[in-house]
Amino acid sequence: MIAVVHEVRLAPAQKDTLVRLLRSSRAERPTAIVARLLWCEGETVHVISLWESRDALDRYLAAAEAPPVTETLATLGAQTPRIGDVTEYG
């Protein structure tokens, strides 16, 4: 499993808007996404997508345009997402 992590600084009102956007786009998310999480540390928000594998993410990116949430986060100032391995331990 891998995590794709977008990080952006948002005001409290913007966080609420982002949560609504993420919830409304749930039906559009790729089936290879295991879970999506929002982790907030003050004004810093981490939008985390857990993918079943790096291969699944690469196949999706090769066949599709950038996901709408990626474009939205970029307009809010998010940097290029970080991608890392995730191991389930419990």
Predicted confidence (pLDDT) at residue 22 exceeds the cutoff of 90 = no
pLDDT band at 35 (very low <50, low <70, confident <90, very high): very high
Residue whose C-alpha is closest to residue 88's, from 45, 35, 17, 26: 35
Q: Is the pLDDT of residue 9 over 80?
A: yes
- For 61-80, what is each residue's pLDDT tens digit? 899 877 777 888 888 889 88
Residue 55 has pLDDT above 90, yes or no: yes
DSSP character for 52?
S
Beta bridge partners of 41: 44
- Of residues 82 and 70, the one with the higher pLDDT is 82
Asked if pLDDT for residue 82 goes beyond 90, the answer is yes
Q: 35: left (phi > 0), else alpha (psi -120 to 50), else beta?
A: beta
